[in-house]
Amino acid sequence: MRGEQPLVDSPGGKRAENIMGVVDPFGGEVHTAFTKKHTAASVRRFIVDLFRIYRHKKKIILVLDNAPIHHATALKKFLERVKYKLEVIFLPPYSPELNPIERFWRFLRKKVTHNTFYETFEKFSATVRAFLEKYKTGSEEILSLCKVS
């Protein structure tokens, strides 16, 4: 009714999963990993997975934001050891519009979470995982969304 606050169902609780991801702006593939907490070790494991996925490439260029975890001493040491294979570009502070994965996260939220109620966290998580699986192999949609000019 007009003038009244609408009620929105919520399953309640405070459960979360963290997702880290990268998008290949030249192939349209999206690579993600779920973690309970972002740590230097989880970022390192994710990068090692990228080395496996892109083992045929001479060098990988990875764009990172300035999250504190990306500047952790343990991660810096690892990045120094693999600089022959990995070039890291840190974005300027407060510039998510320059990071292709941020465009993908916005796309995910629009398609999966906006105006949608999930009865359980498990249903929500399963829907997110299915969405991510769909874009693992690349698509024209992601290429146009995340292209690099």
Q: CATH number of the domain at 18-144, please?
A: 3.30.420.10
Instruction: Indicate the domain borders of the chain.
Output: 18-144
Identify the segments of the chain with pLDDT beneath 50: none
Q: Enter the pTM of the model.
A: 0.84
Here the tokens at position 129 are 């995982």
Residue 15 has a pLDDT of 79
d(CA 88, CA 74): 15
**Of 33, 18, 29, nearest in space to 135 by CA:** 29
Q: What angle do CA 38, 44, 46 make, to 5 degrees?
A: 80
Whole-number percent of the chain with pLDDT over 70: 93
Residue 6 has a pLDDT of 65
Residue 12 has a pLDDT of 66
**Per-position b or e across 111-148, b if 16+ CB within 10 A of its CB:** eeeeeeebeeeeebeeebeeebeebeeeeeebbebbee
